[in-house]
Amino acid sequence: MENSEFAKLFWQIAELLELKNENRFKVRAYQKAAQNIENFSDDITGVFKKGGLKALENIPGIGESIAEHIEELIKTGRIKKYEKLIKEFPRGFVEMMQVPGIGPKTALLLKKKLKIDSIEKLQKASERGLLKNLPGFKEKKIENVKKGLELKARSKGRFLLSEADEYVKAIVGQLEKLKEIDQILPAGSFRRGQETVGDIDILVTSKKPGPVMDTFTKLPQVERVLAEGPTRSSVILKNGMQADIRVLEPSNFGAAAHYFTGNKQHNILIREMAVKKGLKISEYGVMKGNRRIAGKTEAEIFAAVGLPYIPPELRQGTDEIDLAKKGELPKLIETSDIRGDLHTHSSHSDGGNSIEEMAEAAKKLGYEYLAVTDHTVSTRVGGGQTEKELLKELAEIDKLNSRLNGFRVLKGAEVDILPDGSLDFSDEILKQLDVVTVSVHSNFKMPREKMTNRIIKALHNKYVNILSHPTGRLIGKRDPYAVDIEKIIKAAKATGTYLEVNAYPERLDLSDVHCRRAKEQGVLLSINTDSHAALQLQLIKYGVLTARRGWVEKRDVINTRPLEKLLKLLYAKRK
């Protein structure tokens, strides 16, 4: 995390406490901390890594409780106190603070002067040019708010797949306990593994819908009930996401599963095929005249129109049906095919766990290897290491490997691609590593051609194995930098570099579409989590889902290989 991010959070806490009329000294403490962090020349994360809480408390303006917040933020990615505080304000208020340029005070000002209490109203006011009349709203600030609004608008009402997943798990977990329920299937975009989900669609089969509806609408995750009927209900969950449930006859299950999994375009194409065969497909089954000929399983639905089973991730309404007809569907990669993670961080840079803890967690997932790829010195964000510090880390890895049976920690680094395309570390150092991933962490706003050449230059280094998060996007937060991805794919192919599918839920980078392009061009991929804590290794499944949506098979991914084969692939470029 960058110093400015810590500072921003503390400014926000201060403002929120101020709005609550909290004790002046408390407010002042957060302001002081924020100010000092902004002016602090060293990297806060790095200071904590090296000296712990004590070292933080030595920074002017940082006392014990602020130091603890920083620790919490580094280790868990959140501050509980902040999350609790934010819940005391109306949702629109908190929503507006997600727009860059808008803090609590501005949010309050907007409410007071213009009665704005939602992003929607802010959008309207911005369009009508009302913002320029507000105190403190200069041209630059207005421009920032506009940009922030644009980004928000594009992700409007959509949630990260991982966030939907948390709710789905909680909901399914509770419904499963009901003896009245036979089958449960979360359908829709969630089942298709889409990177963002608009709403959750849950199908259940039951002979007694009453108790099912009762339980569903009273779940602790439910904020309010939109509609409750005998076989279908809709609710708004605590995070603002909608969830729909439908109770079905078991004999309809396959037809409903297919219909509600979508996507819509895929459904339309399937129904057109059915019509040509004199059939009628609906969510209730497949009809031939007045006779029902299928509906219990999804496979039956596909079979009725002469197709093999198409996995949900491929149901995108593009060319999957044509290729299914020709028998050219891929055998998609599975999470269980992954044998190790090649992009992770330890407490040597900005990770929350030691190398050993990371390795233990990887072993628990059944992995054979794990590459530790801590940041390099230019990434101040990540407490990046110098060459000398890296050498110490490598010695530690050697020691650890001599103790770990049947598991290998691979030596790695996530090396910064500097603005001119050169790398942060010398070849002398890189050649001592098993896995070198490179990535862009600075100067995002370069012109497209310059950025493309910058990255391609890095790929030409013979020690560079993987280009990490190739477009730099953060879903709903930051657009990809301008880059010619086709050229990058070609350069990866030409240089024998692998492209990453970063599984971190707000990255998913390469995206599904880019995965498919890379595969078509014969570029091998590496699906990695970019974990900054041991628990995050489990995020791998989101990367796998994204790859599946990109038609990726086991053989297209280097970290499905056993260790020896993987090492061959990693060292091939050096010859």
Contacting positions for ligand DGT (CB under 6 A): 188-189, 197-199, 201, 259-260, 262-264, 267-268
DSSP H or E segment with residue 247: strand 242-248
Residue 267 contact, options Ca ion, ligand DGT, Zn ion, none, Cβ 5-8 Å cut-off depending on partner type: ligand DGT
Least CB distance to Zn ion at residue 381 (A): 10
Burial of 209 (0-12, 13-18, 19+ CB in 10 A): buried
Provide the minimum distance between the beta carbon of 350 and Zn ion in the complex, in angstroms, as a whole number.
9
244 lies in the site for Ca ion, by CB under 5 A: yes
Which residues face 224 on adjacent strands? 236
Residue 434 contact, options ligand DGT, Zn ion, Ca ion, none, Cβ 5-8 Å cut-off depending on partner type: none
Decide: 536 and 505 in contact? Cβ < 8 Å: no
CB of 296 to ligand DGT, least distance (A): 19
- Binding part of the chain for Zn ion, among 25-33, 286-294, 330-338, 411-419 by CB under 5 A, reads 411-419
The CB-of-434 to Ca ion minimum distance in angstroms stands at: 42
In contact, 47 and 70? CB cutoff 8 Å: no
Q: Which residue is nearest to ligand DGT (CB)?
A: 262
Q: What is the distance between the alpha carbons of residues 210 and 212, in angstroms, rounded to a whole number?
A: 5
Selection from ligand DGT, Ca ion, Zn ion, none that 530 binds (CB < 5 to 8 A by kind) is Zn ion
CB of 297 to ligand DGT, least distance (A): 18
Q: Which is nearer to ligand DGT, 190 or 504 (CB)?
A: 190
- Is position 341 an interface residue for Zn ion (rule: CB under 5 A)? no
CB of 292 to ligand DGT, least distance (A): 19
Cis bond before residue 263 (omega within 30° of 0): yes
Q: Token match 């608008």: residue?
A: 153
Owner of token pair 């439908």: 246
Q: How far is the CB of 187 from Ca ion (least distance, A)?
A: 8
In the complex with Ca ion, which residue's Cβ is closer, 73 or 256?
A: 256
Comparison of 271 and 493: residue with beta carbon closer to ligand DGT:
271
- Quote the tokens at residue 189: 């975009």
Q: Which among Zn ion, ligand DGT, Ca ion, none contacts residue 465 (Cβ within 5 to 8 A by kind)?
A: none
Binding site partner of 412, from ligand DGT, Zn ion, Ca ion, none, Cβ cut-off 5-8 A by kind: none
CB-nearer residue toward ligand DGT: 74 or 161: 161
Chain centre distance of CA 503 = 6
Per-residue burial over 492-502, b if 16 or more Cβ lie within 10 Å, else e, is bbebbbbbbbb
Minimal distance, residue 200 CB to Ca ion, in Å: 6
Residue with tokens 């959140």: 78
Which stretch, 238-246, 328-336, 440-448, 469-477, contacts Ca ion (CB under 5 A)? 238-246
| Cβ count within 10 A of residue 52 | 12
CA distance 68 to 193: 37
550 binds, among Zn ion, Ca ion, ligand DGT, none (CB under 5 to 8 A by kind): none
- Phi and psi at 236, nearest 5°, equal -105, 130
CB of 268 to ligand DGT, least distance (A): 5
- Binding to Ca ion by residue 201, rule CB under 5 A? yes
Burial class (CB within 10 angstroms; exposed 0-12, middle 13-18, buried 19+) of 109: middle
DSSP 62-80: --HHHHHHHHHHHHHS--H
Strand bridging mode 291-294 / 369-375: unpaired
Yes or no: say if 514 and 550 are a contact pair by the CB < 8 Å rule. yes
Residue owning tokens 């109203």: 121
Dist. CA 256–CA 249, nearest whole Å: 10
Complex with ligand DGT: residue 272 or 449, whichever CB lies closer = 272
263 binds, among Ca ion, Zn ion, ligand DGT, none (CB under 5 to 8 A by kind): ligand DGT
Say whether residue 43 binds Zn ion (CB under 5 A). no
The correct pick among 18, 117, 165, 199 for binding Ca ion (CB under 5 A) is: 199
Residue 209, contacted partner among Ca ion, Zn ion, ligand DGT, none, CB below 5-8 A by kind: none
Q: Nearer Cβ to Zn ion, position 206 or 344?
A: 344
What's the DSSP call for residue 198?
S
Residue nearest to Ca ion (CB): 188
117 binds, among Zn ion, ligand DGT, Ca ion, none (CB under 5 to 8 A by kind): none
Q: Is 368 in the site for Zn ion (CB under 5 A)?
A: no
165 binds Ca ion (CB under 5 A): no
Please report where in the chains the tokens 């990058």 appear, as a residue. 488
Residue 370's Cβ-side half-sphere holds a number of Cα atoms within 13 Å equal to 31
CB of 175 to ligand DGT, least distance (A): 18
Stretch that binds Zn ion, among 64-72, 206-214, 384-392, 410-418 (CB under 5 A): 410-418
Q: Per CB under 5 A, does 416 bind Zn ion?
A: no
Query: What are the distances in angstroms from CA 393 to CA 356, 400, 535?
Result: 12, 11, 21
> How far is 544 from 59, CA to CA, in rounded Å?
42
Which residue lies nearer to Ca ion by CB, 382 or 505? 505
Q: How many residues bind Ca ion (CB under 5 A)?
A: 5
* Cis peptide preceding 510, ω within 30 of 0: yes
Dist. CA 524–CA 518, nearest whole Å: 7
Q: What is the DSSP string of 150-180?
A: HHHHHTTT-EEHHHHHHHHHHHHHHHTT-TT
* Positions in the binding site for Ca ion (CB under 5 A): 188-189, 199, 201, 244
* Positions in the binding site for Zn ion (CB under 5 A): 414, 530
